[in-house]
Every structure is written in C-alpha cells, then in structure tokens.
A and B are shown apart, each in its own frame.
Chain A
Amino acid sequence: MSFFDYFKSKKNNRSASVAKERLQIIVAHERGQREQPDYLPELQRELLEVIRKYVQISDDMVQVEVDRNDSCSVLELNVTLPEH
C-alpha cells in the first residue's frame, strides 16, 4: 500500500459481508433441494406430460415440492395455467 492508497482505499473493500449473505442464501437453497426425494424430478416430468395432453404449458410452470413435518409429508403441486 503506497502513501496515497492509504487515504483512498478504505471504502469499497468491505466485501466479506456480501460474500456471507450470498453464501447463506445459496447454501440454504441447495440444502433444501438436497433433502428432496430422488423420484421428484421424474414425477415432475411425468406430471408435465399428462398436463400437456390438455393444456400447453412450459417446463417451469409445474412446481413440485415435498414438505416434511414430524408426523407426515405433504406433496405440494403448483401448476400455473396460461392466460386465455
């Protein structure tokens, strides 16, 4: 660090807190996916095929998730239908 750097470089280097925040979000997201059962992608694909027999929808319009509680698991299915 030279004489002039000492006075100018203080501000924009505090990136560690940004790193931490980004990591917390992505790691939580990836852990959520990790805990999903193995059959989920296949289930999603087949559901998509069935729905497409009747309605034209794109891949991202079907969301399948499993929520686990202590006593039971809930399969949550969200289908977004296109507007007419």
Chain B
Amino acid sequence: MARIIVVTSGKGGVGKTTTSASISTGLARRGHKTVVIDFDVGLRNLDLIMNCERRVVYDFVNVIQGEATLNQALIRDKRVDTLYILPASQTREKEALTREGVEKVINDLSERFDYIVCDSPAGIEHGALMALYYADEAIVVTNPEVSSVRDSDRILGILQSKSRRAEMGQDPVKEHLLLTRYNPDRVSRGEMLSVADVEEILAIPLLGVIPESQIVLNASNQGLPVILEEDSDAGQAYDDAVARLLGEEREHRFMSSQKKGFFSRMFKGG
C-alpha cells in the first residue's frame, strides 16, 4: 500500500507544482518508488517543471477512459529511476476525472509504488477535490501573505470534511504546513508574516520553510526540480522537508536573515 500525499493550497501561484516536483524527486532519490500525478486537467504544467513535456503521449484521462494503459501513460524520470510522472490531459474537461476512475488508477498505482504524490490544481473545484479525496497526508503550500493563509485555512476545512478519510470516519488526513517564498529580511523588518504567525493562525505542524530564491525560477526555466540544486538554500530546504516527511528530525534552517552592516545596506541596496 502506497502513502498518498496531496500537495494543495487553495490559492494559485504559491508553489504547488514546484513543491510536487521537488518532494517526489526527493522521495524517489531516497530509493522509494514514487509516482507524481498532475491533477490540473486543461492546465498541465508538471511535465514542464520536470522536463518531460516532449515525452507525453498518453495522460491521466486517457487511462481513466480506457484509451491507454497505465504503463503507456507513465513517464519514467530521466534523472531518478525510481520516479514516474503521470501527466494531466491538456484537452479534456475537468469532469473527466470521475471519482471511480481516479480511484481505479490510484488503487493500481498503490500496488506498484511506495508514494503517490498528487499535484492539485488551484481553487476548490472538482479537480482540487479529486486530488485531495484519496489522500492520507496533505502538504499545504502557503505563502506568508494574507490571501494565501486564508485560502490554506479553507482547504484545511475541506480536507477535514470532504476527503475520503473524513467521509469514512477514519483517522483524519495528516496535515503539514510548507511555507514557501519566505523572505527573512522582510520578516525582520516587520513587513511579512513570520513562520510563527502563520503557524499560530493555521495551527498545523510545520514541515518546512522554503526561502524566496532566484534559484527556483532558474530551475523551472530548465525543467529541473529545485531539490536537485543541492548547493542552493531552497534545494536544501526541500531536502530537509522530505527528510521530515520520512520521520527524520531536522532543525529548521533559512528562517533568519543574514545581518547586513550599515555600509552594505547604504551602498548595495536592500
């Protein structure tokens, strides 16, 4: 039986796909057989972030509708050989993801993989509900910003009432907070919500803090999951998050600002 992890947020543009790519790559690099599924039917992007966009032949909806087998649709990652990608359909309606169809695919994948990472679309519509329905755990990606925090709280409410675990009266979905685009300098100047502020409002355990970094855009430009940028702060922060997801204790890093002297602030800029 695989562990099913949904990467969700409510709000768009906070880093769900970036996170799905890095978390799944991190799990696979540690030897776990991992598959990452793009649930964003009509707006597929995980393939671009993972640099396999030119290898997509069949997709998730083709499998659900019996037009292709799972083996035909799964794309094996070129960098990590225990990692597979199941791309979303670019042309179909979101409603093509039926509950029964998704369940069949997840059950089949569950027999072959250790981890199933579900990359949710933004919003709280059908695609997002399908992505979280079968989850055992949820990584709630949040920016330190009012609309993102509010939407994360909304998604937490949905996880607690509309997931399969909630409907069946089983143990609740295990929730993890991943704070992304964190800028310690702005936090120290009182311009940005701190980790502690967001933890206090959402009241769920912190999985990690990913610092805002130019590396993230550089990596997505090249189709490289940022966790593979091993020398970067964002890459290392994602690696820490994967370790914690697997039960390791890791101290949180990259949460405080590097102190700048009077002269560097005056002449080099903030």
| Cβ contacts under 8 Å, B2 to chain A | none
Contact of A27 among B189, B190, B192, B201 (CB under 8 A): B201
Q: Does any Cβ of A come within 8 Å of B197's Cβ?
A: yes
A56 at interface by CB-CB < 8 Å: no
Query: With A6-B265, A6-B266, A16-B197 given, is the CB distance from A30 to B153 under 8 Å?
Result: yes
Q: Give the distance to chain A from B269, nearest Cβ to Cβ, in Å.
A: 5
- Mostly, the B contact residues are helix
Establish whether residues A19 and B193, one from each chain, have CB atoms under 8 Å apart when the complex forms.
yes
Task: Please provide the chain A residues from 1 to 42 with a CB less than 8 Å away from any CB of chain B in the complex.
Answer: 1-3, 6, 13-17, 19-20, 22-24, 26-27, 30-31, 34
Tell me if B149 and A23 are in contact (CB < 8 A). yes
Contact A1 B201 (CB under 8 A): no
- What residues of chain A lie closer than 8 Å to B191, measured between beta carbons? 13-16
Minimum CB distance partner of B152 in chain A? A27
Given the complex, which residues of B lie within 8 Å of A1, measured CB to CB?
Answer: 265-266, 269-270
Q: Are B154 and A30 in contact (CB under 8 A)?
A: yes
Please tell me the number of chain A residues within 8 Å of chain B, measured between CB atoms.
Answer: 19
- B109 interfacial contact with A, CB 8 Å: no
Q: Determine the chain A residues whose CB is within 8 A of the CB of B189 once the complex forms.
A: 13-14
B183 vs chain A, min Cβ distance (A)? 11
Interface centre among A22, A23, A27 (most CB of B within 10 A): A23
Number of B residues with CB within 8 Å of any CB on chain A = 22
A17 vs B189: C-alpha distance when bound (angstroms): 11
Give which listed residue, B145, B146, B153, B193, contacts A31 with CB less than 8 A: B153
**Inter-chain contact B146/A23, CB cutoff 8 Å:** yes
User: Assuming A16-B191, A20-B201, what are 19 further A-B pairs, CB within 8 angstroms?
Assistant: A1-B266, A1-B269, A6-B265, A6-B266, A13-B190, A14-B189, A14-B190, A14-B191, A15-B190, A15-B191, A16-B187, A16-B192, A16-B193, A16-B197, A24-B201, A27-B201, A30-B153, A31-B153, A34-B161
- Please report A residues at the B interface, Cβ cutoff 8 Å: 1-3, 6, 13-17, 19-20, 22-24, 26-27, 30-31, 34
15 contacts between A and B (CB under 8 A): A1-B265, A3-B266, A6-B265, A14-B189, A16-B187, A16-B190, A16-B192, A16-B197, A19-B197, A20-B200, A20-B201, A23-B149, A30-B157, A31-B153, A34-B157
Contact surface of B with A, Cβ cutoff 8 Å: 145-146, 149-150, 153-154, 157, 161, 187, 189-194, 197, 200-201, 265-266, 269-270
Q: 9 tightest CB-CB pairs across the interface, nearest first? A: A14-B190, A1-B270, A34-B157, A20-B197, A27-B153, A13-B191, A19-B146, A16-B190, A23-B201
